[in-house]
Amino acid sequence: ILFSSFLGLGLCVAIIGPTFQDLATNVNRNISSLSFIFVGRAFGYLSGSVIGGVLVDVMNHFLLLGVSMLATTVGLYLVPFCKTAVLLTIMMSVFGTSIGILDTGGNVLILALWGDKGAPHLQALHFCFALGAFLAPLLAKLALGPTVSAENHTESDFHHPALNRSSDADSGVLFGVPNDMTLLWAYAVIGTYMFVVSVILFALFLKNSSKQEKERASAQTSRRAKYHNALLCLLFMFFFFYVGAEVTYGSYVFSFATTHVGMKESEAAGLNSIFWGTFAACRGLAIFFATCLRPGTMIVLSNIGSLTSSLFLVLFDKNPVCLWIATSVYGASMAATFPSGVSWIEQYTTIHGKSAAFFVIGAALGEMAIPAMIGIFQGKYPDLPVVLYASLGASVATGVLFPVMYKLATSPLNRQRKENRKSEDQKALLSSSGLNEYEEENEEEDAEKWNEMDFEVIEMNDTMRHSVIETSGNSLTESTSSPVNTGNSHVKHLPETRTKGTNI
């Protein structure tokens, strides 16, 4: 059910990119002036992350996720009917709040179930998000059909109002049926899917099936790193740049391809799907890689790939072949970063609801600030590939932040290992010296025993010698007193000699 929820989450986040021009037309705005809807959605996502971080520790998990999914459903149904930019921004805020709760609650529940061994499960969870993001452009433009042709769109469309303005937007009506029914169907299909998943979550809540998960979470031993707060702050910045770049490229690559490169709408939708498709495919592969590679290794590989591909995008921004290849590599490189980051920090310090909410807030701020800034700068400098510059800058930032985080997390462990080695060496020395003393004591005891045995042998020899002398002396006196020995006398002395010999 969690995987199904994150599939819907990916659909919700990625649907805005291919329908951005249609939303601008629906509210009578141009693309650059409508970029603040990303601010509204990210502000709601930020609020939802805070709310979810607090509630996930005190509230039933399935109830919390079910409510957030239901609120997402309402937002998806209402977005196509918005006829003013302000109302659309408000709806995006409500929409962002619900997906923020869903994101925080899902990650915390995965960590509560599997702890630091949940790397493959986290990769699978976020793979479902990427799969939904891959399906969203296909659903919006290819499956349901294109809307306004983008063949005549130019770079000036970032400046000037959108074409085909609706009469409802001009008259100031807040809600109205959109002129393009494809926009309505795209959001309605995703909203229906989210509603079905929310019903299943409520059914699980009614069965009280989350008690075992809570008991497992409470039974886990919590650990806290020495630089816990510093690591969370650095991870906050890391996710700020990473998620900001991911959402910016996924949301603007469609408009960038049609206006800056001159692609057709179907080609631009395919390019957008290539980004999310490689993103989803590599997250699927990361499920298996997570079983044999450490999260830190996967983050390093992701940073190298994103830095290289974004550099090629900047250098060859109008080359279609390079754009397709570099977009694929960039999507693949961005795939495993977020779940690997969560798994990596869980190795050094336990992540609870508030801690997860903190770095998810960083992701929400990145989603809010970076796309809005890119929309403004793209409107001011339409001839420059501002989207690609943002991708390159974010790749450099994440490439610098992670080594600092790694050093900060492992330095106390290295000291502890050195201290453990010293204590082990000391114990080994003490044990070896104790063995030597024990051997010396044993040797002294053995020597004393041998001396005692020698004295006993000597005493025994002396006793035997005296007894033999006495016996021989007695026999001599008796022989002298009776000069004629008879057989009887000789027989009589034998028992006495044997008796004395036996006494000896």
The ranges assigned to domains in the chain are 1-145+178-207+228-410
| The pLDDT of residue 197 | 92
What is residue 467's predicted lDDT score, i.e. its pLDDT? Answer: 53
pLDDT of residue 172: 59
Residue the block writes with tokens 């060496």: 425
**Are 249 and 371 within 8 A, CB to CB?**
no
pLDDT along the chain (504 residues), means of 10: 89 82 79 74 81 83 88 87 84 85 83 76 84 80 52 44 44 65 82 92 77 49 68 89 88 82 80 83 87 88 92 86 90 88 80 76 82 82 86 92 87 58 56 54 57 51 52 47 43 43 42
Q: What is the DSSP letter of 259?
A: I
Q: Measured between alpha carbons, how far apart are the two ends of the chain, in Å?
A: 98
User: Does domain 1-145+178-207+228-410 correspond to CATH entry 1.20.1250.20?
Assistant: yes
> What crossing angle do the helices spanning 353-380 and 36-55 adopt, rounded to 10°?
180
pLDDT at 130: 77
Inter-helix orientation angle 320-333/265-289, to 10°: 30
Per-residue pLDDT at 136: 83
* 386, 377 Cβ separation under 8 angstroms: yes
Q: Look at residue 490 in the predicted model and tell me its pLDDT.
A: 45
Q: Is the dihedral of CA 341, 347, 350, 352 positive or negative?
A: positive
Q: What is the C-alpha separation between 10 and 73, in angstroms, rounded? A: 14
Take residue 24 and report the two structure tokens written for it. 């601008």
Which token pair is 81?
């009917």
